[in-house]
Structure 1
Amino acid sequence: MYRIGFGIDFHQLVEGRDLVIGGVTIPHHKGALGHSDADVLLHAICDALLGALALGDIGMHFPNTDPAFKDIDSKILLVKCFELIREKGYRVVNVDSSLCLEAPKIKKYSGQMREVIASCLDLTIDDVSVKATTTETMGFVGREEGLVAYANVLLAK
């Protein structure tokens, strides 16, 4: 039996925060604002995993009102979501994800991101796709006010 999940996440970009995407800290003058480390990509993957099995969303499992999750490393959240999937008897087949941001260019970091995600989900790097695009300077992403991540996952029982 197969289940497909889709996740999406948005974060505002601000001065004075680290930019963590896919478990990798990327040098940039702005970082993502959030209760945790604000890793937009891992949050989208978490929601895709949870959504595939109708287990709610990341905010339900890790509320931003809970001090326990303040500045938490999102790799921990991803592993916890993966554990929920495994408890239901499923495994992850693959992850396909897309980032939408104007800057910085993430191509040189995407391999590291794929490795991090694969290690959290007991996959090989060939089972994880991380792509990126811009909005051609349009909208909040184009003005570098925020970034967006999309993720699809396939689960198998």
Structure 2
Amino acid sequence: MLSILKRIATTGIVSEPLPTLADLKAEADDLQARIFAVLGRALTIRQVDAGSCNGCELEIHALNNPYYNLEGAGIRFVASPRHADLLLVTGPVSKHMEIALQRTYDATPEPKRVVAVGDCGCDGGIFGASYASCGRVANVIPVDVTVPGCPPAPVEILRGILRAVTLPR
């Protein structure tokens, strides 16, 4: 127990520093301008859990908290793929989700982008391909951007979304 307390005392606080209000405002304005320049309107995202452990979903939900404030930057999540510009897919694609993911992709209007989030979505992660799993998202639908990590930090997911939006089509 003493060694754990000593490690805590020597390590200190291990979190990211809070950004200043001016930095947040500048980033939000820049983000909104980039999205509007590419799309001409707000970016809408349909998130699909294709069989993940929900670790990536927790990080995606963090994007909607006041710290990251995606809605304030002109990015919002929608319930229907017919209203989406981008699919955000997590997890290795289970055999039971293969057809549903393909139908979701087909229902998303062009020009659509796909971002595979997490190690499982990028390369199958610890699950890989098996009798119950198709493996990575790219084995089922075309993927534009991958965001590795188990789970990736919210800021990395946001960077992946921005990379997908700014890709030429």
| Structure ranking higher in helix proportion | 2
Q: Which has the higher contact order (CA 8 A, sep 6+)?
A: 1
TM-score (norm 2): 0.23
The structure having more radius of gyration, on CA atoms, is 2
| Structure ranking higher in strand proportion | 1
